[in-house]
Amino acid sequence: MASRALYSPRHPMLKKRDSFEDILEERRHSSDLRYALRCYTPTLYKGLVPCKASMLKSIVLQSDHLQYVIKQVSSESGDSTECVAEEASLILDEMAHRLQLSTVRFFVFTLSKAFKRLFRSVCVNEEGIQRLQQAVQEHPVVLLPSHRSYMDFLMMSYLLYMYDLPLPVIAAGMDFMSMKFVGEMLRMSGAFFIRRSFGGDKLYWAVFSEYVKTMLRNGYAPIEFFLEGTRSRTCKSLTPKTGLLNIVMEPFFKGELFDVNLVPVSISYERILEESLYARELLGIPKPKESTSGLLKARRVLSEDYGSMYVYFGHPVSVRSLTEGKITRSQYNLLPRCIPQKPSADTHEFLNDTAFRLVRIQEGNMVLKPWVLIATLLLQNPDGMDLSSLAEQTDWLRHLALAFGAFLDWPDHAACSEVISCSLALHRHLLSVSAGHVQLSVTDAPQVETTPEEAVFHQAVVVLSCASYRNQILHVFLRPALLAVAMQSANSNRKDDVYNCFNFLRNMFSSEFILCPGDSVQDFEEACYLLMKRGVLQVLEHEIVMSASGHSTLAFLSSVLDPFLQGYQVVSRYLCEETNENLTEKEFIPAVRNFALKLILAGRLKCYEALSSDLQKNALAAFLRLKAVMKVKVGDQVTLKVNKIAVNSLEDTLGKSDVISHQNSWWSSMAMFEIAI
């Protein structure tokens, strides 16, 4: 905790955020066609090297970098350079975008129609747009949106077109390409496609990185990609990937660009289009077959109300200022720059750190709706709540969230009960409301004969859908919640003990949540600071003491983490009890799911979230990281070798914190406290 002095917490309430404008407002009053065909004159980068999409290809293929790698690959493989060059050219054809304004105009027209049907409003912070307009002119820009839905990049391009900003080129996964027509349409609206994994393929990597860098260096267009790599099925931010980040930063490291601006963009949805799809995917329920009925269902998507959507353009982050004092650019002086170099350990650490920080910025700028609070509460009360107490607790939670710096969009001048009923209405398909009592439940017409397993899965879909809303606010409560759990499981009130527990939990959950590696002291300080401000804790020199009024908040915070603690315990119990020598990595998820299902059916487990494959994967990653499980390659299969003693002790440590968090105990204790007053 030596770095205490380095960390000065700013009051989260003071975080200034821009206000929003609804962009659909105007679309509802004027012709979409005229809008799609309007004159588009984007602001341009001052150092732009004008070049057509077709010219890009030859620039990339002729680049020193690619030529070097082609020669290298050819001498290693024995193929002729022409042959390798041909291969490179094919890779580039498969990858390259073919941005066309006409396709974009088509999308603008259809999306205008679609957005108006889907959303009540699409809100954008126009100050962010203005900042972007400025940034685009000065230095090449990289757009880093969060990724929750397929809508994300369609919306990004739509918005940039709308505000006369240069249209981005977007790194997209190859899976889109399989959708024949759609893939080509996306290509023509600026998407370029990359294979999901190309680990050892030098040539592929060279073509890909040179392609991105060339566009960046020439200021061809803003590069857009998703730090999280894929859509988050849980609405929690995913651990960021650093590969593409390295590619877009390298032109700066090597002095080819004076600076690069990174613009984190937070896209949040009041109701996610893919909501139940994701839940099904997490539960391993096969997708409904593509059929007429599927198509009809898809049409139903268009007829439903998805509330509002929010796009928040963050402040541009200059790579130059980020690297100051962290990266010695002269390390690139001794090799010609066209020769690819693996990032040094320093650089790697920097990239990782930056990626985490950017994701945290994204998280911080995500708009949270009242429903997020309600979902949090309903999940903690599986037996349902009375509307009145829901209203009361939601109001309490609202203040707590605001105190922790949540970006909450709570309607002005509306009674709490009104706000709640609106939210409930929008998400009615997850709820049953009767006689003033709200409960999460399956609302789809119950099918005639359901097995108990099916019933569990139906309920689990609802729970996981609901959890995806709670997950949106987790980043606000995460650090204090880790501290709350740590305080319960620590042997004493001594600061060191609590910190050690905190650190343990942090390590355990570092695949689950966005926790910058190496920031554990800072996170601890932040948690202490927030809880101290709230009057929950008193942090003395060597001790952390709970205040008299603090119990309810701590109990609430620890129940926030409860599903995860329980889920990880389920996984560890599975690893200890059920595994044999030849558990392959592939079998792991279905096997754990079955194990959890059995526990639920037997009434020994109430936590449906333990069924989520995301949680199971993260738990496995944690055990692997903590060396309680090892991967062993046998033939072409990877098997998991479990160190049962280690897993057991991890489970014990996790279990300690579990004792107190009985469902809803925090609220009753608060009620009692209030009565006492």
Partner 1 sequence: MASNSSSSTAQQRLRIIAGHLQKRPEDENASVAAQECKAEAPRSEPSSATPVPRRRQEIMKWNGWGYSDSRFLFTKKGQAEFTGKRYRLSGLILPSLKDWFEGTFGANLQHRSPATPSLNLSAVAPPNLNQPFVEDLKAAGLVVSHDPEDRVFRAHGHCLHEVFALREGRIGRVPDMVVWPSCHSDVEKIVELACKHNVCLIPYGGGTSVSSALECPREETRSIVSLDTSQMSNIHLKDVFIMRCTAVTLTLHIVSLTAGSETLHKASTPLCLSRNTFPVRLLNEHGYCTGHEPDSMEFSSLGGWVATRASGMKKNIYGNIEDLVVHIKMVTPRGVIEKSCLGPRMSTGPDIHHFILGSEGTLGVVTEVTLKIRPLPEYQKYGSVVFPNFQQGVACLREVARQRCAPASIRLMDNEQFQFGHALKPQVSSMFTSFLDGLKKFYITKFKGFDPQHLCVATLLFEGDRGKVLQHEKQVYDIAAKFGGLAAGEDNGQRGYMLTFVIAYLRDLGMDYYVIGESFETSVPWDRVLDLCRNVKERIVRECKERGVQFPPLPLSRVTQTYDAGACVYFYFAFNYRGLNDPVHVYEQVEHAAREEILANGGSLSHHHGVGKLRKEWMKESVSGVGLGMLKSVKEYVDPQNIFGNRNLL
Write out the residues near partner 1 by the rule CB under 8 A: 64, 255-256, 258, 328-330, 332-333, 336-338
Strands 537-539 and 544-546: antiparallel
Q: 62 vs 76, 153, 207, 251, CA distance in Å?
A: 20, 30, 11, 17
Output the 3-class SS for 194-215: ECCCCCCCHHHHHHHHHHHHHH
How is residue 408 annotated by DSSP?
A: B
Q: What is the DSSP string of 23-68?
A: SHHHHTTS-HHHHHTS-------TT-----HHHHHHHHHHSHHHHH
Find the shortest distance in angstroms from Cβ 89 to partner 1.
24
Q: Which is nearer to partner 1, 292 or 330 (CB)?
A: 330
Helices marked H in 427-542 — which ranges?
452-489, 495-508, 520-533
Write down the H helix ranges in 78-236: 81-95, 101-118, 126-138, 151-162, 180-188, 202-217
What is the rounded CA–CA span in Å between residue 590 and residue 595? 9
Looking at the DSSP assignment, which residues form a beta bridge with residue 368?
Answer: 408
Which DSSP category does 259 fall into? Answer: -
**Closest approach of Cβ 136 to partner 1, in Å?**
17
Nearer to partner 1 among residue 324 and residue 412 (C-beta) = 324
Q: Which is nearer to partner 1, 255 or 518 (CB)?
A: 255
Q: 157 φ, ψ to 5°?
A: -65, -40
- Cβ nearer to partner 1, comparing 59 with 481: 59
The nearest distance, CB 330 to partner 1, in angstroms, is: 6
Structure tokens at 186: 């996306």
Q: Cβ closer to partner 1: 134 or 328?
A: 328
CB of 333 to partner 1, least distance (A): 4
Q: Is 658 helix (H, G, I), strand (E, B) or coil?
A: coil
Exposed / middle / buried, residue 635 (Cβ in 10 Å: 0-12, 13-18, 19+) = exposed
Mention every residue, 6+ apart, whose C-beta is less than 8 A from residue 603. Answer: none
The minimum distance between CB 142 and partner 1, in angstroms, equals 19
Contact 460, 409 (CB under 8 A): no
**Closest C-alpha among 244, 242, 259 to residue 324:** 259
Minimum separation from the CB atom of position 96 to partner 1 (A): 25
Residue whose CB is less far from partner 1, 27 or 217: 217
**How is residue 570 written in tokens?**
């389920």
Sequence letter at residue 20: F
Kindly state the tokens that stand for 133: 């307009």
Is 217 or 369 the residue whose CB approaches partner 1 more closely?
Answer: 217
Considering the complex, state which of residue 176 and residue 332 has its C-beta at the smaller distance from partner 1: 332
- Is the CB of residue 113 less than 8 Å from the CB of residue 302? no
Closer by beta carbon to partner 1, 320 or else 644:
320
Helices within 582-612 (DSSP H only) = 585-601
**Contact by Cβ (8 Å): 271, 307:** yes
Of 213 and 236, the one with the shorter C-beta distance to partner 1 is: 213
**Considering the complex, what minimum distance in angstroms separates the CB of residue 360 from partner 1?**
27
Least Å distance between CB 64 and partner 1? 8
Question: CB of residue 55 vs partner 1: minimum separation in angstroms?
Answer: 16
Is 650 within 8 Å of 626 (Cβ atoms)? yes
* Pick from 85, 90, 69: nearest CA to 201: 69
In whole angstroms, the minimum distance from the beta carbon of 42 to partner 1 comes to 22
H or E element, residue 310: strand 308-313
State which residue, 37 or 44, has the beta carbon closest to partner 1: 44
Buried b (16+ CB within 10 A) or exposed e, 173-183: eeebbeeeeeb
| Tokens 């300690």 -> residue | 656
Complex with partner 1: residue 323 or 362, whichever CB lies closer:
323
Nearer to partner 1, 139 or 147 (CB): 139
Give the residue with the Cβ less far from partner 1, 255 or 446. 255
Picking from 527, 515, 512, 531, the residue whose alpha carbon sits closest to that of residue 571 is 512
Joined together, the tokens standing for residue 579 give: 């595994």
Element containing residue 282 per DSSP (H, E): helix 275-283
